[in-house]
Amino acid sequence: MSQASLARLDDTHKKFGQIAALDGFSLSVNRGELLALLGPNGAGKSTAISILLGLQNPDSGKAELFGEQPHSIYARRRIGVMMQEINLSPVMHGREFIAQTASYYARPYETDEVIKRLGIEKIADRPYGKLSGGQKRQVQFGMAIVGRPELLFLDEPTVGLDLQAREALWQVLRDLIHEGCSIVLTTHHLEEAEALANRVAVMMHGKLVKSGTVDEIRAHVSRKSILCRTSVPMDTMRNWPEVLEVSEDSGRIQIVTRDAESALRLLLAADARVHDIEVLRAGLAEAFAEITAANSNGSTE
């Protein structure tokens, strides 16, 4: 086992009835990285995480957490978990949940320290049932990090948070990574992955289809957007080679194309008065869309 790999899935298969949730999926999480695990609904993300957390066993293949079986308590004492759709007891307080969780770990942070770090002093002593959705997520996040985990599993951590709270949580995540913690993030929020992730893994149909840094993933996508103000009719532009899409938003035209250079040449030739030109590389969102589109086409054949 490589020393850097904290969690590893190796050629894992898992079937639920006829449906293969994991179909030879491999993944390893290295120390000090934030890995964003992306994929459309039903791609197998939650199954992969469940297996890494020891909640399910793979039908075949290998799963390891800190070199142990994932359900080993020794392994679990080194991870923190934040899941979706957890309803904690409404009568207990955030501070009590965090303190209880801390008692399960070998060298946890002080409860007060975590509360302060997350800036949730005001809500820590209120009944959980009286908190807003975002505040509940903050308490759950506190429970996830209080054990001083070496590896943190976060499932949609910022759903329901306002902008300010989300920024604060992102900052804590960046600090944790800086301190050497590794994070596995599953999110539908590509913006979040783009802002935080060192590495992105895209899953589809139970397989890993792309893996790399955010830049690598983005670079993989050839499409770019040209924004401009022009008098060239939109239908004309749509017939140019490699142009995928032309749209207008308050007078500004957006041309999505696989060959930005050709499109620019044609544009400049056709309209001498074109102005306000901007060329945008694809974001993670576009890249993700392209990757998933390509792979779902491939798989239907």
Least Cα distance to 33 among 181, 149, 153 occurs for 181
Q: Tell which positions 140-169 bind another protein, by CB under 8 A.
A: 143, 147, 153
Q: Using the rule CB under 8 A, is 71 a contact of another protein?
A: yes
Least spacing, CB of residue 63 vs another protein, in Å: 10
Q: Tell which positions 77-106 bind another protein, by CB under 8 A.
A: 77-81, 83, 85-89, 91-92, 96, 99-101, 103-106
Nearest residue (CB) to another protein, 103 versus 171: 103
Query: Residue 268 is encoded by which pair of tokens?
Result: 């400049």
Least spacing, CB of residue 226 vs another protein, in Å: 47
Nearest residue (CB) to another protein, 104 versus 293: 104
CB 141 within 8 A of CB 176: no
How many positions of this chain bind another protein (CB under 8 A)?
41
Q: Using the rule CB under 8 A, is 16 a contact of another protein?
A: no
Nearest residue (CB) to another protein, 96 versus 286: 96
The sign one gets for the Cα dihedral 155, 284, 134, 103 is: positive
Element (H, E) at 164: helix 163-178
Q: Using the rule CB under 8 A, is 272 a contact of another protein?
A: no
Assign 260 to helix, strand or coil.
Answer: helix
Least spacing, CB of residue 93 vs another protein, in Å: 9
Q: Using the rule CB under 8 A, is 72 a contact of another protein?
A: yes
Distance CA 47, CA 53 (A): 10
Least spacing, CB of residue 70 vs another protein, in Å: 9
Q: Using the rule CB under 8 A, is 4 a contact of another protein?
A: no
Least spacing, CB of residue 101 vs another protein, in Å: 6
Contacts of 134 (CB under 8 A, 6+ apart): 160, 161, 162, 165
Nearest residue (CB) to another protein, 63 versus 202: 63
Which residue has tokens 């002093």?
Answer: 121
Least spacing, CB of residue 105 vs another protein, in Å: 7
Least spacing, CB of residue 84 vs another protein, in Å: 8
Buried/exposed 39-73: b ≥16 CB within 10 Å, e otherwise: bbeebbbbbbbbbbbbebebeebebbbbeeebeee
Q: Tell which positions 103-122 bind another protein, by CB under 8 A.
A: 103-106
Q: Where are the beta strands (DSSP E) in the chain?
A: 5-16, 19-30, 34-38, 60-65, 79-82, 151-155, 182-186, 199-204, 207-212, 224-229, 243-249, 252-257, 275-281
Q: Which one-letter amino acid corresponds to residue 252?
A: R
CB 101 within 8 A of CB 146: yes
Query: Which range of residues in 16-24, 62-70, 174-182, 203-211 is near another protein by CB under 8 A?
Result: 62-70
Which residue has tokens 């793979």?
Answer: 58
Q: Which one-letter amino acid corresponds to residue 261?
A: E
Query: Which range of residues in 54-62, 109-117, 168-176, 207-215 is near another protein by CB under 8 A?
Result: 54-62
272 exposure class (CB count in 10 Å sphere: 0-12, 13-18, 19+): exposed
Give Rg (Cα) of the chain: 23
Least spacing, CB of residue 81 vs another protein, in Å: 4
Q: Using the rule CB under 8 A, is 68 a contact of another protein?
A: yes
| Residues at the contact surface with another protein, assessed by CB under 8 A | 1, 53-57, 66-69, 71-81, 83, 85-89, 91-92, 96, 99-101, 103-106, 127, 143, 147, 153
